[in-house]
Structure 1
Amino acid sequence: NDLVLQPGTFRVRGDIIEIFPAYEELAVRIELFGDNIEKIYTFHPLTGEMKREFDDYWIYPAKHFVTTRENLNRAMGKIRVELSERLKHLRNEGLLLEAQRLEQRTLYDLEMMAELGYCSGIENYSRHLEGRKEGERPSTLIDFFPNDFLLFADESHVSVPQIRAMYNGDRSRKMTLVEHGFRLPSALDNRPMKFDEFEEAVNQVIYVSATPGNYELEQTEGEIVEQIIRPTGLIDPDIVIRKTRGQI
């Protein structure tokens, strides 16, 4: 954008590059001398007032979901195929309202993707955008860790059951949306990992808990490190028992 510098855009004027990250209130100006960067600093996008100079600056994507136009067109083609199959199924079942709702919403999303490159709720089409197969595990932050990373599961008697419950809770909510024509069935693949997928993704785990569950005890095979003294030196507080009668 050579005229107005708006969040999520950049412009180039001679040897000056100006970037306005979508997640910041200040813009960034990069001054070049030939092929070398001479100065990097933030400035107010309206007044142009210089705020702070940097030796280096990290710039993140302007949008959360970034893909090429070729991949987007391929994904849109698969979405149309899935939509056609789903509409046929709904109409055969006599669910005409659900079919109309799904067709209207999905065609609007496809139009937005074609014109703008994204749409509201685009994460529900992530299976098509990433080229994953139906039911295939989604990408997570764990995929970016090295193979020998060490995971600490704090309060594991609570966190481990939560990992188990995440997939079922997410699927239950989205099944309602799919059944009533708010989303395509592929939205079910925009999900957390299943517990067995989580187990395959992690290698070394330390479970930290005062009351470990059966799962943690089975995984450690009896190798337990007991912490007797708290590192802070604090002792357990005194317990005071009061009657409930007469408190209100």
Structure 2
Amino acid sequence: QRTQFDIEMLQATGVCPGIENYSRYLTGRAPGEAPPTLIEYLPKNALIILDESHVMVPQLGAMYNGDRARKSTLVEYGFRVPAAMDNRPLKFEEFNKMRGQIVYVSATPGAYELEQTGGDFAEQVVRPTGLIDPPVEIRPTEHQVDDLMSECRIVAEKGGRVLVTTLTKKMAEALTEYLTENGVRVRYMHSDIDTLERIEIMRDLRMGEFDVLVGINLLREGLDIPECMLVAILDADKEGYLRSRTSLIQTIGRAARNVDGRVILYADSITKSMQAAIEETDRRREKQKAYNAEHGITPASVKKNISEVLHSVFERADYVENSRAIMGMAEEEQAAFQNPAAFQKYIKRLEDQMRKAAADLEFEEAGRLRDKIRKMEAMDLGLTGTMTNPRLANGWSVTSSAPTKPKGGKKMRVSKRR
């Protein structure tokens, strides 16, 4: 009955709920054959670049395994037809067979990438800004929180920022509460925080709304905070995924954007991962120092537009030109981005205009203003697209340019003319 209903929906509308049940038949693929994917449309001479390859390569295999584990249970109990198993990500072997030339890019390449190179790889250790990797210091875990609080105050007085990594969410929240009670401007960030809220937290950190950010596993790849003068890693000797060689090197690298950057590892013993991370950091420092001395380069902190960090969670260049101009926008709109108060005032004026247009039944104009508000708010957050859930006045629908109900609670009736 369900299948018959879906077939009727496909014939009538071209779509149906649970379309993955029928993707094998719609694409004409044989059972077990690789599904159509974007990689099939790339030309044979295309060059694929896998950024942060130490994360991307394991994910290529994990996507298929995770999808199969979920769907096998659904198929077993009749919630999906068996053909749904073929609407899946590529297996790693299938990806390897279909891809053309590929470049793996990572500060900490994994075993697979190093095996593929056969020992012949390009290493880019020198930075255009002349910055060197930060010095790493090891301190005992006894009184580590009080020592950290003292360091946070020193850095805050210099106008810098501090990144702190803990092992658990509960520890991050407890540490944030303790530091707040002692007068430190601090916030925490972990996987329970929504993506848009994370963006706001990162922007507030760079703008100086607070000085210390506590996290777990998010303060690693791609986090680019030039104002960061100190990275503190608590319980660094607790060997595991969060304190592995790769994780430590990536976290240490967050302090490499500031000329005064440094790292403190709180540990009572030196693990193999700690030793490997420190040795790799020292090796890079020596190369960077030698290059700077040979070419007469004076290290300088990264200069980066604050909104730039919101454009992507992945790393950009070491230097980005600081330009406030936004292409294709009127001067009035440009001025609105100069400070939060001006922006809120401009958005309020647009909302009033939208409300008036809707009241005059000028729905096209109201829709245009609604879209403009969405675009402005998205750009204010550093996004490139439109917001799916924009902030509108109370009583206004997300998808409509007219209010859902007028003041007084009475329902609004709108007649439609054909």
TM-score, structure 1 as length reference: 0.54
- What is the letter of the counterpart of residue 60 of structure 2? I
Which has the larger share of helix? 2
Q: Does 1:106 align with 2:27?
A: no
Q: Does 1:213 align with 2:110?
A: yes
Are the counterparts in 2 of residues 154 and 209 from structure 1 also a CA contact under 8 Å? Answer: yes
Task: Map Cα deviations across residues 191-248 of structure 1 (whole Å, 9 max, x no partner).
Answer: 0000000000112111111221111011111111111212454444566768444553
Q: Does 1:174 align with 2:99?
A: no
Are the counterparts in 1 of residues 50 and 56 from structure 2 also a CA contact under 8 Å? Answer: yes
- What is the letter of the counterpart of residue 72 of structure 2? M
Which of residues 86, 89, 93 is equivalent to 1:189?
A: 86
CA distance in 1, matches of 2:86, 2:20: 10
CA distance in 2, matches of 1:164, 1:180: 26
- What is the letter of the counterpart of residue 18 of structure 2? G
SS of the equivalent of 1:133 reads coil
CA distance in 2, matches of 1:175, 1:146: 34
- What is the letter of the counterpart of residue 153 of structure 1? L
CA distance in 2, matches of 1:195, 1:154: 17
User: What corresponds to 1:81 in structure 2?
Assistant: none
- What is the letter of the counterpart of residue 127 of structure 1? R
CA distance in 2, matches of 1:173, 1:218: 31
Which of residues 43, 51, 54 is equivalent to 1:154?
A: 51
Q: Does 1:118 align with 2:36?
A: no
Inter-CA distance 129–228: structure 2 relative to 1 (3 Å threshold): same
SS of the equivalent of 2:48 reads strand
- What is the letter of the counterpart of residue 198 of structure 1? F
Inter-CA distance 184–231: structure 2 relative to 1 (3 Å threshold): farther
CA distance in 2, matches of 1:137, 1:173: 18
CA distance in 1, matches of 2:128, 2:94: 34
Count, aligned residues: 145
Are the counterparts in 1 of residues 21 and 82 from structure 2 also a CA contact under 8 Å? Answer: no
User: What corresponds to 1:10 in structure 2?
Assistant: none
Matches within 5 A, 1:1-248: 104-237=1-134, 243-245=143-145, 247=175, 248=178
Task: Map Cα deviations across residues 77-133 of structure 1 (whole Å, 9 max, x no partner).
Answer: xxxxxxxxxxxxxxxxxxxxxxxxxxx432221221232222122133111001100
Percent identity of equivalent pairs: 59
Offset at 1:179? 1.0
SS of the equivalent of 2:94 reads helix
Are the counterparts in 1 of residues 64 and 89 from structure 2 also a CA contact under 8 Å? Answer: yes
Structure 2: segments with no counterpart, 5+ residues: 147-174, 179-418
C-alpha RMSD over aligned residues:
2.0
CA distance in 1, matches of 2:123, 2:4: 58
Are the counterparts in 2 of residues 134 and 186 from structure 1 also a CA contact under 8 Å? Answer: yes
CA distance in 2, matches of 1:120, 1:232: 53
Offset at 1:143? 1.1
Task: Map Cα deviations across residues 25-44 of structure 1 (whole Å, 9 max, x no partner).
Answer: xxxxxxxxxxxxxxxxxxxx
CA distance in 2, matches of 1:233, 1:110: 63
User: What corresponds to 2:269 in structure 1?
Assistant: none
Deviating beyond 6 angstroms after TM superposition, the runs of 4 or more aligned structure 1 residues are none
Inter-CA distance 231–171: structure 2 relative to 1 (3 Å threshold): farther
CA distance in 2, matches of 1:117, 1:208: 41
User: What corresponds to 1:24 in structure 2?
Assistant: none
User: What corresponds to 1:29 in structure 2?
Assistant: none
Which has the larger share of strand? 1
CA distance in 1, matches of 2:28, 2:75: 21
CA distance in 1, matches of 2:38, 2:127: 31
Inter-CA distance 244–180: structure 2 relative to 1 (3 Å threshold): farther
Are the counterparts in 2 of residues 105 and 182 from structure 1 also a CA contact under 8 Å? Answer: no
- What is the letter of the counterpart of residue 110 of structure 1? I
Task: Map Cα deviations across residues 28-69 of structure 1 (whole Å, 9 max, x no partner).
Answer: xxxxxxxxxxxxxxxxxxxxxxxxxxxxxxxxxxxxxxxxxx
Offset at 1:159? 0.6
CA distance in 1, matches of 2:56, 2:39: 16
CA distance in 2, matches of 1:117, 1:108: 13
